[in-house]
């Protein structure tokens, strides 16, 4: 991806972003034949993620946080592992990546799989505010 991105000038980048934004967003579906229980992940999302990604995972332009639905579940899992393992969000010049990386650094494989499964439920309308700590 970096090799391709390096070939794009500012104009092509803007054009590619505009094209991507115009594509229909299809809610994330599960590719896991045995999705794990998501109760703890729902609570984790409410406690630790929705402050930046919004309660419905739509992302927030002000925080520059990504929408968390509209991509495939395996992609979420791969990104969370990359953040956790220092492949993403570890560059000192990266302002946005560390926000998720600092949380992902504490996640086990099982918690990442559960969060990935939960993000499928979120994409299909689950409301994590129901389990918010008061």
Which two tokens mark 25? 């967003």
Quick one: which segment of 3-11, 23-31, 58-66, 126-134 binds ligand HEC (CB under 6 A)?
58-66
Q: Tell me which of 38, 46, 79, 113 binds ligand HEC, using CB under 6 A.
A: 79
Residue 26 in contact with ligand HEC, rule: CB under 6 A:
no
Q: Tell me which of 49, 117, 120, 122 binds ligand HEC, using CB under 6 A.
A: 49
Residue 71 in contact with ligand HEC, rule: CB under 6 A:
yes
Bridge partner list, 65: 60
Contact 131, 43 (CB under 8 A): yes
Which residue in the block uniquely carries the two structure tokens 């930046």?
52
Which two tokens mark 98? 């560390």
Residue 103 in contact with ligand HEC, rule: CB under 6 A:
yes
DSSP 8-state symbol, 46:
I
What gap in Å lies between CA 36 and CA 59, rounded to an integer? 24
Q: Which residues here bind ligand HEC, judged by CB under 6 A?
A: 44, 48-49, 51-53, 63-66, 68, 71, 76, 79-80, 88-89, 96-97, 99-100, 103, 115
């Amino acid at each position: 991806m970096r090799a391709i991105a390096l070939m794009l000038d500012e104009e092509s980048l803007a054009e590619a972003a505009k094209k991507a934004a115009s594509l229909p967003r299809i809610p994330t579906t599960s590719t896991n034949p045995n999705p794990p229980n998501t109760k703890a992940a729902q609570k984790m999302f409410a406690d630790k993620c929705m402050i930046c990604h919004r309660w419905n995972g739509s992302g927030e332009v002000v925080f520059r946080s990504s929408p968390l639905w509209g991509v495939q579940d395996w992609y979420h899992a791969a990104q969370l592992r990359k953040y956790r393992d220092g492949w993403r969000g570890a560059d000192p010049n990266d302002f946005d990546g560390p926000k998720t990386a600092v949380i992902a650094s504490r996640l086990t494989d099982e918690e990442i799989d559960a969060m990935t499964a939960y993000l499928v439920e979120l994409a299909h309308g689950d409301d994590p505010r129901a389990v918010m700590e008061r």
